[in-house]
A = this chain, B = another copy of it.
Amino acid sequence: MTAPSGPEAGRAHGPSGLQTPAGTVGPVRVVGTGLLGASVGLALRALGVDVVLHDPSRVTVLLARDLGAGRLPEPSDPPPALVVVAAPPDVTGDVVAAELAAYPDAVVTDVASVKGAVLAALTAAGADLTRYVGSHPMAGSERSGPTAARPDLFVGRPWVVVGTEASSPEAVLAVRTLVTDLGATPVMLDARVHDEAVAVVSHLPQVASSLVAARLRDADPAALDLAGQGLRDVTRIAAGDPALWTSILAANARAVLPALRATRDDLDGLVQALEQVVEATGPHAVPGGALGTLAAAVAAGNAGVARIPGKHGGARRAYDVVTVLVPDQPGELARLLGDVGAAGINLEELSLEHAPRQPVGLASIAVLPGLGTTLEAELTGRGWTVAG
């Protein structure tokens, strides 16, 4: 059941494991078989690695097994070479400490989205940190549980690896190997840098999205009918799981707090500026400082969004964007993209914008700089209405 096949099968590597074609040494014990844990199991099984599953919920672990993420433990099992803890952030520290104690030869990692709190809990518990290397795959879904798992969840994603001064080189290598085996790109960061980074690029956006969406609860139904793509984009991640996000925000409170405070202060400045506008006796009596505050906030956003890298590492506004009118019928978008492909031009990003209850859509096609004019000409020549 556990022997991998292929040319590397059977090559001895350590007391209890086999070198797989992919590099990760089994058996791998996955603790917590929700979306992330089950996805790790599915991906490792696809590489022929022996995966043993554990979850405090019997239903969850049986479901993960039935989906092909691994097998249940057996009394005759050798100890695991690697343990992957995929538990909620607030219990991850305790679980990692227990696994380090239970398997004194195993390397243990976790996939929690906060790293400093886990490390602090392990240090406080006196755990053997030489065999612990934290990690955090930048992958997920609004859905959760093993049924949402997929073996390619991590393909092409950054996966942060957080070694400490205490981590052994062997432990760091084992976790890096796991990351690359699963198709992700390892990004080595320390816990503080990681936690501050995700506070700004993940946790603050989640909070902002939730707060904007919360204002829609009591909005006039007429307001919802005016919802456009901007609102949809800003609030998409507001559909995230409250229990999971409570756990994440609490575990990363020290890093999230400064980002939230700064945003609160910025927002307070905007409230005060708008109060000055309302209190002014007429449009020409508005103090210039108030308008300057509004403009500076939008300009600061311009500067920030320009720093987000695009697929090829440049700023994303380096793309040319061609917008095309697409009839809302099966096959029309395929025909459009077929024509893009026939022009020999690679599509970098695509978004399709639909108005509520209307029979047309607008496809925005981003291509590498300089190709936009060519693409426009090609598409116009093929009968498409190019809108800009």
Question: Which residues does A use to contact B, with CB under 8 Å?
Answer: 90, 93, 117, 121, 138, 141, 143, 148-150, 152-153, 155-158, 160, 185, 187, 189, 193, 196-198, 200-202, 204-217, 219-220, 222-228, 230-243, 245-246, 249-251, 253-254, 256-257, 259-264, 266-268, 270-271, 274-275, 277-278, 283, 286, 290-291, 294-313, 316-317, 323, 325, 328-342, 344-352, 354-360, 385, 387-388
Contact indicator A360/B156 (Cβ below 8 Å): yes
Q: Determine if B283 and A117 form an interchain contact, defined as CB atoms under 8 angstroms apart.
A: yes
Residues of the B chain whose Cβ atoms lie less than 8 Å from the Cβ of A234: 205, 208-209, 233-234, 237
Cβ contact within 8 Å between A330 and B346: yes
In the complex, the answer to whether A225 meets B158 with C-beta atoms within 8 Å is yes
Contact present for A260 and B249 (CB under 8 Å): no
> Closest CB-CB distance, A299 to chain B, in whole Å?
4
- A202 touches which of B231, B331, B359 (Cβ 8 Å): B231
Additional A-B contacts beyond A149-B388, A211-B263 (17; CB < 8 A): A141-B388, A150-B388, A205-B234, A208-B209, A208-B211, A210-B300, A213-B302, A217-B300, A230-B236, A232-B308, A233-B233, A235-B305, A239-B301, A240-B302, A243-B295, A331-B342, A335-B341
Which of chain B's residues has its CB closest to A303's CB? B217
How near does chain B come to A326, taking the closest CB pair, in angstroms?
10
- CB-based contact B193/A222 at 8 Å: yes
Q: Once the chains bind, are B334 and A346 in contact (CB under 8 Å)?
A: no
Q: Complex: how many Å from CA A303 to CA B219?
A: 12
**Shortest distance between the CB of A304 and any CB in chain B (Å):** 4
B215 touches A385 (CB 8 A): no
Nearest CB of chain B from residue A131's CB, rounded to whole Å = 23
Q: Which residues does chain B contribute within 8 Å of A310, judged by CB atoms?
A: 356
- When A150-B387, A231-B202, A233-B234 are in contact, do A264 and B262 touch as well, CB less than 8 Å? no
Pick the contact of A274 from B260, B342, B387 — CB < 8 Å?
Answer: B260
Q: Which residues of B contact A214 (CB under 8 A)?
A: 266, 297, 300-301, 303-304
For A385, give the chain B residue with the smallest CB separation.
Answer: B152
CA distance A303 to B196 in the complex (A): 29
Contact among B90, B246, B301, B355 with A283 in the assembled complex (CB-CB below 8 Å) = B90
- Nearest B residue to A205 via CB reads B234
Q: Check B117–A308 contact: CB distance below 8 A.
A: no
User: Taking A197-B226, A271-B261, A357-B312 as contacts, is the C-beta distance between A305 and B345 under 8 angstroms?
Assistant: no
